[in-house]
Amino acid sequence: MPPRSGEPITTTGAWSVGDEIGDRRFARVVGGEGLGLEAGGRLGPVEIAYETWGELDPSGGNAVLVLHALTGDSHVLGPAGPGHPSAGWWPDIIGPGAPIDTDRFFVVCPNVLGGCQGTTGPASVAPDGKRYGSRFPIITVRDQVRVEALLADHLGISRWAAVVGGSMGGMRVLEWCVGSPERVERAVVIAVSAAATAEQIGLCSLQVRTIRADPAFAGGDYYDRAVGPAQGLAIARGMGQVSYRTAAELDLRFGREAQGVEQPLKGGRYSVESYLEHHGDTLLRRFDANSYIVLSEAMNHHDVGRGRGGITAALSGVKAETSVIGISSDRLYPIGLQYEMARLLPNRPEVRVVESTVGHDGFLVERAAIGAWIADALA
């Protein structure tokens, strides 16, 4: 039987404040009255999964918020295990003596609203006892940050010493800076833009359409079926992976080589095809197709200037000391978008450019360079 989409996934609805699974903790931050959503409607209750490292000082002033990207989760650091289907996605960045030094800072990483690793999302059980599925509402980056702000209140953190994130996480860093400027002292924005571009929207929308076109998607209500939209999600992930890397890197790593002893002229695969299939199959074991859709569409809605007089006006109100980092070869969020953002920020930060052939994924792969710039920003 083909794998179900996102097996195994974790659903919320059975935990209370203080419960743990692996290194994750859970807090109900919105009750049955629900959270009013930017696009309309309400969602509640809302539970959030998060992990922490280090100790919060008595003043609560040493807290750092780390925000993950599209298919990340709260498990930034540590091995796979109970509650953690994969190893930490940003090793070497957090820990004693690391760029985000847990001897100095209390570090918090939440799973995002709409995700599938503990925080309320489409696979969660709704108040009527059934999974949300197709009923999960449209959410935006602003809704996600409001939930993170409620978690900060729950933890007794009125102001972050720093907020750090790349890609989708960088969107939320910007939203924190624009929407709650008094709550952010420093910000590190990595490999992102102030608003989604037409190309980014187009790429995300094609991946969403691919998942929805899988006959097993069943309109989003596949959780009680034997087979979910595994093929659609795997292909969508492969499409995304091409945009996360570069043509030069793919040519260098794979060229036109066949996969092992397979013969492409006789129906076998090229090595690069196997690579993309592997990334799709790996994602199936830990991610939910509905979450992929919900989060991709939230990224498409990203625009810090919406309803705020435009991007220039919105960024002019940022009070945080902001650092901007870009990847030289990023074709999904080209470096020019970071320069544009930096010109509009009040502190006019220098754009720190990580030289890499990897592309957008450089914010995850080039950890030595990224870590050095983060350490400098937090110094």
Integer-rounded Cα Rg, in Å, for the chain is 20
Among candidate residues 75, 84, 301, 360, the one labeled active-site is 360
What whole-number distance in Å separates Cα of residue 11 and Cα of residue 115?
A: 10
The residues near 363 (Cβ < 8 Å, ≥ 6 apart) are: 69, 166, 167, 190, 191, 325, 327, 354, 370
The residues near 245 (Cβ < 8 Å, ≥ 6 apart) are: 358, 359, 360, 361
Residue type, 46: V
Maximum CA extent, the chain = 67
- The SS3 call for residue 318 is coil
Residue type, 289: A
Strand order from edge to edge, sheet including 186-190: 20-21, 24-30, 46-53, 106-110, 63-67, 162-166, 186-190, 321-327, 351-354
Q: For the beta carbon of residue 180, count every other beta carbon within 10 angstroms.
A: 19
Annotated catalytic residue 360 = yes
Annotated catalytic residue 158 = no
Among candidate residues 214, 330, 356, 361, the one labeled active-site is 330
Annotated catalytic residue 16 = no
- The SS3 call for residue 322 is strand
Q: Are 112 and 68 in contact (CB under 8 A)?
A: yes
- The SS3 call for residue 126 is coil
Among candidate residues 167, 243, 296, 329, the one labeled active-site is 167
Q: Which position has the token pair 């793919």?
A: 250
- Catalytic residues, by residue number, are 167, 330, 360
